[in-house]
Amino acid sequence: MSQPAGAAVRRDESPASGRATYQDVLDAPPHRVAEIVDGALHTHPRPAIPHARASSSLGVELGSTFGRNRGGPGGWWIVFEPELHFDEDILVPDLAGWRRERMPKLPDAAYITLAPDWVCEVLSPSTRKLDLCGKRPVYAREGVAHLWLVDPLARTLEAFELREGQWTLIATAADADPVGIPPFDAVTFSLADLWP
pLDDT of 67 higher than 90: no
Q: Let me know: does 96 contact 121? Beta carbons within 8 Å.
A: no
Evaluate if pTM is beyond 0.85: yes
Question: What average pLDDT does the structure give for the chain?
Answer: 90
pLDDT of 11 higher than 60: no
Per-residue pLDDT at 86: 98
Q: Higher-confidence residue: 14 or 22?
A: 22
Per-residue pLDDT at 17: 53
168 has which bridge partners? 161
Q: What is the CA radius of gyration of the chain?
A: 17
Per-residue pLDDT at 18: 78
Per-residue pLDDT at 5: 39
Range with the poorest average pLDDT among 22-26, 72-76, 112-116, 139-143 = 72-76
The tens digit of pLDDT for each residue in 171-190 reads 999 999 999 999 999 999 99
Per-residue pLDDT at 4: 38
- Average pLDDT, stretch 190-195? 96
Neighbouring residues of 56: CB distance < 8 A, sequence distance ≥ 6: 80
Q: Let me know: does 150 contact 156? Beta carbons within 8 Å.
A: yes
How crowded is residue 49: how many other Cβ atoms within 10 Å of its Cβ? 9
Per-residue pLDDT at 12: 42
Range with the poorest average pLDDT among 14-23, 125-134, 162-171 = 14-23
- Average pLDDT, stretch 161-165? 97
Give, in order, the Cα–Cα distances in Å from 168 to each of 140, 160, 182, 185, 187: 11, 5, 12, 17, 22
Domains and CATH numbers, the chain: 47-82+90-194 (3.90.1570.10)
Please state the φ and ψ torsions of residue 163, each to the nearest 5 degrees.
Answer: -130, 115
84 has which bridge partners? 91, 112
